[in-house]
């Protein structure tokens, strides 16, 4: 069955109960409301100059100029909310470094500079800051989303695009893919990359961490959760597919010391959803294991290369840490594993 990024069904099943309004440190109860979600036959139209951001089973739109990073729920050393220097989207991941120093008493007034969105939050609610900014948290399915902004209209506009993903997100990525698992599976062979025709776009879907219930203790394979997605178009998408096809056949790279190789394929995977004029093709991009790294379009196994990795692991997919294989692909060959 042909998948298409032009008409993907989603539904927003969001009901948010805002339990309290915090104004100047005083909690005012009874400010409850419900946000009614939408249900549409197609993905909510992408606003001009905006992009999709996805984490697990929820997607939302933000202005395309906003930066991306990890480390949600950041707090300053003195317990104040972090003041962002630039508009940013934060998602879970990365390490937070804390330093010890004497905090002023009373706490200084916060002066916000730039808006932000986080795929996290303490609980649904609204915080009004003394400088006129507002932090609002809403629940969409199991996911909390927090937007901090001085512009009420911008905040409402962002929340209006948020939705629980039912089939696939605006970049064509499924929250649960049958081939995004911690085991060696091959994508359905629709003819492979050499027969897709003219490349129209490539959805880049990154899956990590167990999805749903924790993995069994006996080492049985488990589903991986969608962490982020993006979409490549134009010359970038066409060049990526050419580079994928041009990669040497086989598997690799492996870690720099063959003796440490194991059969575990690793708990991370990229699925590339190539949309072509003749047919569409899923491609699995493995990089977190040892023996089984490389790409698979259902017809041919090929090695992962620096040319393809530097396009795939960019933007929202830029690693916050580098394992042995990603170091080889993105930086250079590391020394042997001891």
pLDDT digit string, tens, across residues 146-186:
999 999 999 999 999 999 999 999 999 999 899 999 899 99
Quote the CA–CA distance of 198 and 225 in Å, as a whole number. 30
Dihedral sign from CA coordinates of 162, 87, 126, 99: positive
pLDDT of residue 95: 54
Quote the CA–CA distance of 250 and 301 in Å, as a whole number. 5
**What are the residue ranges in the chain where pLDDT is below 70?**
1-43, 73-80, 94-102, 258-260, 334-338
Quote the CA–CA distance of 225 and 203 in Å, as a whole number. 16
The answer to whether the CB of 315 falls within 8 A of the CB of 217 is no
Report the side by side order of strands in the sheet with 58-63. 50-55, 58-63, 163-164
> pTM to 2 decimals?
0.80
pLDDT of residue 96: 53
pLDDT of residue 37: 31
């Amino acid at each position: 069955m042909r998948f298409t990024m032009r008409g993907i069904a989603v539904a927003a099943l969001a009901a948010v109960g805002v339990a309290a309004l915090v104004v100047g440190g005083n909690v005012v109860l009874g400010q409850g409301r419900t946000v009614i979600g939408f249900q549409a036959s197609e993905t909510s139209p992408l606003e001009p100059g905006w992009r999709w951001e996805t984490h697990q089973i929820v997607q939302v739109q933000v202005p395309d100029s906003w930066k991306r990073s990890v480390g949600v729920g950041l707090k300053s050393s003195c317990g104040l909310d972090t003041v962002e220097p630039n508009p940013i989207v934060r998602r879970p991941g990365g390490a937070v470094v804390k330093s010890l120093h004497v905090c002023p008493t009373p706490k200084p007034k916060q002066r916000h500079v730039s808006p932000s969105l986080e795929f996290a939050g303490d609980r649904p609610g609204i915080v009004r800051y003394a400088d006129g900014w507002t932090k609002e948290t809403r629940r969409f399915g199991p996911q909390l989303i927090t937007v901090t902004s001085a512009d009420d209209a911008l905040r409402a506009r962002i929340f209006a695009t948020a939705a629980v993903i039912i089939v696939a997100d605006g970049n064509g990525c499924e929250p649960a893919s049958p081939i995004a698992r911690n085991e060696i599976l091959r994508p359905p062979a629709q003819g492979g990359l050499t027969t897709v025709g003219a490349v129209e776009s490539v959805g880049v879907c990154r899956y990590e961490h167990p999805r749903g219930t924790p993995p069994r203790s006996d080492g049985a394979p488990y589903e991986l959760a969608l962490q982020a997605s993006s979409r490549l178009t134009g010359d970038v998408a066409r060049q990526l597919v050419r580079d994928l096809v041009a990669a040497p056949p086989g598997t690799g790279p492996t870690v720099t010391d063959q003796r440490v190789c194991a059969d575990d394929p690793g708990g991370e995977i990229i699925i590339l959803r190539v949309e072509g004029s003749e047919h569409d093709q899923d491609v699995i991009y493995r990089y977190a294991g040892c023996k089984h790294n490389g790409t698979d379009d259902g017809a041919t196994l090929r090695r992962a290369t620096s040319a393809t990795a530097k396009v795939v692991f960019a933007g929202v997919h830029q690693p916050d840490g580098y394992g042995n294989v990603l170091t080889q692909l993105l930086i250079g060959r590391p020394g042997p594993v001891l």
